[in-house]
Structures are given as C-alpha cells and as structure tokens.
Chain A
Amino acid sequence: MTEHIPILIVAIPMVTAICLPLVARLSPGAARAVDISGYIAVCVITVMALVRVLDTGPWHYELGGWPPPWGIEYVVDPLSGGMAVLVAFMGLLVSVYADSQRRQLPAWRSGVYDSLFMLLFSGLLGIILAGDLFNLYVFLEISSLAAYGLLSAGGNRAIVATFRYLLLGTIAATFYLLGVGYLYALTGTLNMADVTSQLPAIVGTAPFGVAVTLIVLGLAIKMAVFPLHAWQPDAYAYAPPPVTGFIAAVMSKVSAYALLRVLFFVLGAEGAAGAVIDIMGWVAVVGAVAASVMAVAQTDVRRMLAYSSVSQMGYILIGFSISNAHALTGALLLIVNHAVMKGCLFLAMGSVVWRTRAVTVDELAGMSRRLPWTMAAFTVAAISMVGFPPTAGFFSKWYLLQGAVEADAWVFAVALIVSSLLSAFYFLRAIERIYFAPVQDTHVRRARVFEVPVGMLVPVVVLGITVLLLGLFNRAIVTGVIEAALPEL
C-alpha cells in the first residue's frame, strides 16, 4: 500500500469529494465522519511521504506503470512533500473549524459544501505533486472551479466578486495553457524533467521567451499579485469565513509553489528566464509597498487582511527574483509562515464576525474581553505578520533581507522594510483597539465573555501556537526541509 502513497494523496480527497453529497443525503453525521477522516488520512500519508523523501530522496510515481515521458508522473521531493504537509494540515484545521458553522445549513447543502472543499483540497494537492505541465493545468482548474463555488457561497456581493475572479482566473489559466503549448511545440514533451533536459537547445529563442512570459503571467495572476489582485479583497471579505481562511492561507501559496517549480526546477533560474524574473521582481517591489498603503486605508478588517496578503505575495516574488540561497529560503519559509499566520487571522476574524457581526477595525474595540483566546491567537499572528521576533514572521523577513543585502539589491531591501513598517502601522492599530479601547458596542457589553464554540476555537488557537513554534524551531525547519527543497543554484 505504501508504494502508492503519491497517488493516494490526490485520490483520497477526490473520491471523498464525490461520495460526500450522497452520504450527506443519507446521514449528515456519517458525512461529517467521512469528511474528517478524509482529511486525517491525507495528513497522515503526506507526513509519511515527506519523512520517506527526506530520508531517501525524490520519489517518482508512475501512473499506471507507464514510464515518463510517455506516462504521467507524480513527484514527491522535499519541496512538494513539505507543501503537501502544509496544505493537509491547514485543510484538517479548517474542516474542524467549518464544522461548527456548517450545522446551520440543510444536510444536502452542507454535503455539497464539504464536497467542494474536498475537491479544492484535492486540486491543490494535485498541483503540488504533478510531474508534468499539463496535469498542473488540469489541477489548477479543478481547484479554481471548486474555489469559485465556495467563494460564491457568501451571498450576493460575493457572487459578483467571484464572477470577476472567474474571468481573471480563466485568463490566467488560458495564458498558462498557451505557454505550455509553446513549450510542447518546442520540446515535444510535457514532462517537467524531460523539458529540463531539452532546455539547452531552445533557451534564448523567441518562442521560448513567449512561453516563459505566458506561464509566469498566468501563475502570477493566480497568485493575486499586485496589480492583478482586484478581485481578491471583495471575494475574501464576503465569502464564508472557513472558505476565506483556507483559500487565503493556501491557494495563493500553492500558485507561488507552482511558479517556483516552473521557474527554478523546470526552466532553471540562470539565464533561461532571467529577464522575466527581473521584471517580476520590480513589479513585486511596487506591489509590496502599494498593497500595504492600500491596507492602511481599509476600515473592514477582512479587506485589510486581503491587501496584506497581496503585499506578502510581493515579498515572496521578491525572494524568487533575488534568487540566491538566502532569499529563496526566506521565500519558502514565508510561504509556510504566511499560510499559518493568514489562516489564523482570517479564521479568528471569522469567529469575530460570526459572534458579534463586528467587521471594521473600530468595532474590534474591547474584543479581547469578549473573545480572549481567539483574540490572543489573532494578536500573535498579527505580530508575526509585522515581523517581531521570536514569531515566525521575523525569520522569513530576516532571510529575505539577508538575501537582498547579499545581492546588493538595496531597493528590494528598502521596499521590504517600508512595507513592514506600514504593516506594523495597520496591525498595531487593530491590536490597540482590541486590548486598550473601551468596549463600545452595546450588544457586546451585555454579555461578558462569549468565546466561540470549542470546534471553532481550537483550530484558531492551534494556528496561533504554530506561529510561535514555527518561529522558535525555524532553524530546524530550514535545515531539515527547506535546505533540501531549494533548487540547485
């Protein structure tokens, strides 16, 4: 059984997704059990896969026994294994969180909702493990379609935002597919390793440049980097909290992973994609700062968090663009950290909205006295976003800055610092309201403490603790996984 783990990581959630609506019709309780056990199973086998890969090196799985480049191949290496563990962990926590909110829905609707969630989960894991470019496209679309369905569950405004996202997401996927078409026409293969081996013959030709540009553009739109982020704040603000929590935490990070995979593993950083990477870096610098400025201007906390995500995606791209060992370590660490931090922030904010209907920064006043544990986790994650030691966020920024200084990329370093200062401004403003402002809302004042149900509280607190653990044990993560996951430079 263990030799089939790579395919099971994708197949278990996909089969579960198909079964869930049917099971939910028969018995909602059974559907819940199937749902949770699906996530737990994936968590267990992704950890098993990562442990094995760190021990024995990359694991190539040939689907149906067809050897690549003719057959489809799934690859688990330290990078994809690590990402898979991250996605599985977030999926499990969010599904526990969603459980409390889902009980209000009728049985068949909650079945469909869980099913879409599972499908999104499966698509993201597929992107991570795909060993060929076309499979990556298919999984990209599977996850996007599931995400459209989930985001639109947030009501009328969410539907309009989702339609915008759908148009932009489809443009992105079309660009990516066209780029893959160019690469296929040049090399006659879709397998990532095979494309790499044929690179020397095609690097520097005009069609190759077009292919790289189209692929990078497509994945960058999927990542929602500035200035291609317009759909994101609306969609995040109006979608159901667990959906936002999961999509904001993981989905853009998986696109970032796909970009890293294509740029550094398939195309190789040196020379092949040089100019595109440089331009990407400058766009990211503008984005990191501009998105932070826009975050300062927001009153709705969820929109503020969404703009902060856009800015953090800029940091990740800056890391890719500098592309020395320290900067890439920082970018990878940030992918992990940001998934945990942003997941924590959005889920905590979801609890606040669910309990008190407070959505603006001012309405957070005195919230620490109402939802003490949730707000403690929110604060830890917010401090980490700003980048205070010893939280996780400090170390990823530290590596990025070190990389920027080593590469003499002073503008990038300054952009990182300016953007961090701006984020300190808008996050500390929120923390100040939460802890020091007097309670304003009468609705909040009547009841004393009304913490959210355990099912919603535990995931948020676990994420908050994880932020601290990631910070304290960052050395172990960097030497244990990330250094093994870095591309050869």
Chain B
Amino acid sequence: MDQAFVGHSYYWLSAVLLLIGLHGILAHTHLMRKLMAMNVMQVAVIIFFIAISAKSEATAPIAIDHGTSLTAEAYINPLPHALMLTAIVVSVSTTGVALGLLIRIHRRYGTLEESELLERMRE
C-alpha cells in the first residue's frame, strides 16, 4: 500500500484535483462555481506536468560553471515547465473569456443560478 503513495504524492494530488474539478463542473448549479471548478481541473494538469519533470538533487538547467557538471542528471527537465507556461496562458485566456460571458449573462438575466436562468430564458 505504501508503494502507491510514497514518492507519488504529487500524482495523487493531481488526480484528486482533476476529479474535484470534474465533479464541480458537473454537480454545481451556479455558473461561477462551475468556472472555478474548471480552473481547479486545469491546475491538476499543470501539477501533473511539473511532477513528471521533478527530480531530487537536481537544479534548474542553467549552466553557471561550464567546466564541471554538464551532465543531464544534474538538471531537471525544463520542457514541461515551458509547456505549462503556455498552458497557464491558455487557462488565463479561457477564464477571461468565460468571465466576460458570465458578465453578459448576469446583466441580461440577473442570475447565474442554472435553474433560475433556464426559467428566465423560457420567458
């Protein structure tokens, strides 16, 4: 049992966050909460990518001293970090667009609660 958890805590964190986010999107009836759950889900993937690049006793891939330790083992893999910078940008823009849509919905219907919204849309 320990084997599944020791050294894998970040993967578990990522999986739990993903499920919390997914559950939130499906179960909550308030659109703003759905949006927040969506963000939690995106963070889960970011943590997953950062976790796969983590390495103990390694450092950022900046070669200060060119003479000595230029082996790959001494450095963490920077690629997932770069990818996640892009993913964070995507996540921020998606949130921005979503908030814009929510403002328009609230201005028109005066609510973000799904049941009330459906009722007012029917009128």
Query: Which A residues have a C-beta under 8 Å from some C-beta of B?
Result: 134, 138, 141, 145, 148-149, 152, 156-157, 159-160, 162-163, 166-167, 170-171, 173-174, 177-178, 181, 184-185
Instruction: Report yes or no: A166 in contact with B105, Cβ–Cβ below 8 A.
Output: no
**Given known A166-B94, A185-B52, contact A159–B83 (CB-CB < 8 A):** no
- How many residue pairs link A and B with beta carbons under 8 A? The number is 72
Pick from A134, A156, A170, A185: contact of B42, CB under 8 Å:
A170
Task: Provide the main secondary structure of the chain A interface.
Answer: helix
Q: In the complex, how many angstroms separate the beta carbon of A116 from the nearest chain B beta carbon?
A: 11
Cβ contacts under 8 Å, B90 to chain A = 138, 141, 173
Instruction: Report yes or no: B42 in contact with A181, Cβ–Cβ below 8 A.
Output: no
Is B20 engaged at the interface, CB distance under 8 Å to the other chain? no
Instruction: Report yes or no: A159 in contact with B80, Cβ–Cβ below 8 A.
Output: no
A157 to B45, CA, bound (A): 31
Query: Which B residues have a C-beta under 8 Å from some C-beta of A?
Result: 18, 22, 25, 31, 34-35, 38, 41-42, 44-45, 48-49, 52, 80, 83, 86-87, 90, 93-94, 97-98, 101-102, 104-105, 108-109, 117, 121
**Given known A141-B94, A163-B101, A167-B38, contact A156–B45 (CB-CB < 8 A):** no
Cβ contacts under 8 Å, A185 to chain B = 52
Cβ contacts under 8 Å, B87 to chain A = 177
Pick from B18, B41, B109: contact of A156, CB under 8 Å:
B109
Cβ contacts under 8 Å, B121 to chain A = 156-157, 160
- Chain A CB within 10 A, most for which of B49, B94, B108: B94
**Given known A159-B105, A160-B117, contact A149–B42 (CB-CB < 8 A):** no
Instruction: Report yes or no: A163 in contact with B52, Cβ–Cβ below 8 A.
Output: no
Cβ contacts under 8 Å, A138 to chain B = 86, 90
13 sampled A-B residue pairs with Cβ under 8 A: A138-B90, A156-B109, A159-B105, A160-B121, A163-B101, A166-B97, A166-B101, A177-B45, A178-B48, A181-B48, A181-B49, A184-B49, A184-B52
Q: In the complex, how many angstroms separate the beta carbon of B3 from the nearest chain A beta carbon?
A: 15
Instruction: Report yes or no: B94 in contact with A171, Cβ–Cβ below 8 A.
Output: no
Query: What 5 A-B pairs have minimum CB-CB distances, sorted nearest first?
Result: A185-B52, A141-B90, A156-B108, A163-B101, A159-B104
